[in-house]
Amino acid sequence: MNTLAFIPARGGSKGIPRKNLAVVGGKTLLQRAIESAKGCTEIDRVFISSDDDEILHAGQALGVYSEYRRPSHLAGDRADVVDAVIDALDWLQARGENYHTVIVLQPTSALRSVADVAGALGQFLSTPRATTLVSVHRMTEHPFECLKVNPNGWDWLEKPLRPTSGRQDYEGDYFFVNGAIYIGATDYIRKKRKLLEPGETMLYVMPRDRGIDIDDLDQLKIAEWRLKFFETDVD
């Protein structure tokens, strides 16, 4: 087997209670993640990693069933998703299932499209010796206009090219890791226990409007508005 779609969907959340089952555009965030995976022909299996019975039952109703249940120590606020990925890979391997590639699709990236998933996976699989890939979109706030605070005051996040740099000086080389898509070779993930590494991880650039990560009610409303007026763009 080649590619596993890993959907991390633990039960706990602070910004929005039961967040992974929140509804946007008439579908739960979990359903949207499952559909974005099932729509990609390069994916061999869709796998939900959860510690929550309601989420697991919701996944089963959508055609994604597994006896796996995420251990409680990997389901807390501080748990690293890469550890949950490795635990699931170990569980599958013990049952005779081995995958060369894992694509992580967080339910909170509700506007991620099937085309985004297929495009990112195509870029990764067509690159010799690829290790990892992450989705990004261009920053709205440019670093020339952003500040970082230190004990002595503040400084620019990125030094302007000249004292009065304007937007014409922005070359578009600044991106935000939006978390919509992570891809990794399983051997690399097991060895490095990382999904993101400077100098190694490839970037998949997607439209900023589809890169929203829903963490609170305001972002949920923004996603709802986006789907209402631009539904065809994110199917």
Paired tokens of 8: 């991390």
pLDDT at residue 106 in the model: 95
* Nearest by Cα to 47 from 85, 4, 103, 87: 4
Q: How far is residue 86's CA from residue 186's CA, in Å, rounded to a whole number?
A: 8
Is the separation of the CB atoms in 62 and 31 below 8 Å?
yes
- The segment(s) of the chain belonging to CATH 3.90.550.10 are 3-137+174-234
For the domain bounded by 3-137+174-234, which CATH number is listed?
Answer: 3.90.550.10
Q: End-to-end CA distance of the chain, in Å?
A: 27
Distances (CA, A) of 43 to 3, 49, 61: 5, 16, 20
Paired tokens of 89: 């890979």
Window from 2-11, 94-103, 131-140, 165-174 with minimum mean pLDDT: 165-174
- Which residues does residue 125 pair with via DSSP β-bridges, in sequence order? none
pLDDT at residue 165 in the model: 54
**pLDDT confidence tier of residue 232, bands split at 50, 70 and 90:** very low
Interval 103-128: pLDDT, tens: 999 999 999 999 999 999 999 999 99
Mean pLDDT of 89-107: 96
Interval 181-222: pLDDT, tens: 999 999 999 999 999 999 999 999 999 889 888 888 888 888
* Nearest by Cα to 9 from 83, 73, 78, 70: 70
Q: How far is residue 13's CA from residue 20's CA, in Å, rounded to a whole number?
A: 8
Place of tokens 């009065």: 164
**3-state SS assignment for residue 43:** coil
